[in-house]
Copies of this chain bind each other. A is one copy, B any other.
Amino acid sequence: MLIRLAKLCLISGVSGVFWSGSLRERMFRVMSRFLSNATNRIDAKGRVSVPSAFRSVLAQRNVQELYCFQDFVFPAISIGGPDLLERFERQIAAEDPFSPDANEMSLLIHGGGVFMKLDAEGRLMVTDFIRGFTGISDEVTFVGRADHFQLWQPQAFVAAQAQARGERKLAGKRS
């Protein structure tokens, strides 16, 4: 728990000293990006609390509805505001409109994406849509990715992170 909160403290990029002042002031100091990771449990009804730091970012961006889709690379669900979807749609529009790629892209981001919203306590439902693709069963790891965040099966995340770290290490030795 200590470690988890220490991480969350880093999310906001603020040391203890700056945590004085009103909540509003604090929220505006926070960099508006999703950073770090935290693991929460799923309750009996299939809900999980989104980390407070992430909720703060969402609130600052006035995000009411969450756009969720299955990540193209990792076995994870990527979540952002409607702007994330719009970015994909611009990408479709920018592509050759005549290409079948645009059609397949639409199949993924429109047909494979869902809008979700948090309940009053900042929790979201972990649906079969999420479980099936990620392997999540009873715990969720929230991973910040700057402009969006992801839902991972905890072990899958540490594994992917370890692999990524290994590859960076190799890359560093090469250069």
Contact = CB atoms under 8 A, between A and B. Distances in A.
A105 B15 contact: no
Interface of A is mostly: helix
Contacts of A125: none
A6 to B, nearest CB: 7
Contact of A14 (B106, B112, B169): B106
A21 interface: no
A3 interface: yes
Contacts of A144: 110-111
B97 A19 contact: no
Is the interface on chain A under 10, 10 to 19, 20 to 34, or 35 or more residues? 35 or more
**Number of this chain's copies in the complex:** 2
B100 A15 contact: no
Interface centre among A15, A145, A157, by most chain B C-beta atoms within 10 angstroms, is: A15
Interface string A126-168: 0000000000000000011110001000000100110111011
A52 to B, nearest CB: 13
A30 B87 CA distance: 12
28 contacts: A6-B100, A7-B97, A10-B97, A10-B98, A10-B102, A10-B103, A11-B97, A11-B98, A15-B92, A15-B97, A30-B82, A33-B110, A34-B110, A35-B114, A37-B111, A70-B165, A73-B103, A104-B168, A105-B168, A106-B145, A107-B145, A107-B160, A107-B161, A108-B161, A110-B144, A111-B143, A111-B144, A112-B161
Lowest 5 CB-CB distances: which A-B pairs, in order?
A36-B114, A104-B164, A111-B143, A15-B97, A7-B98
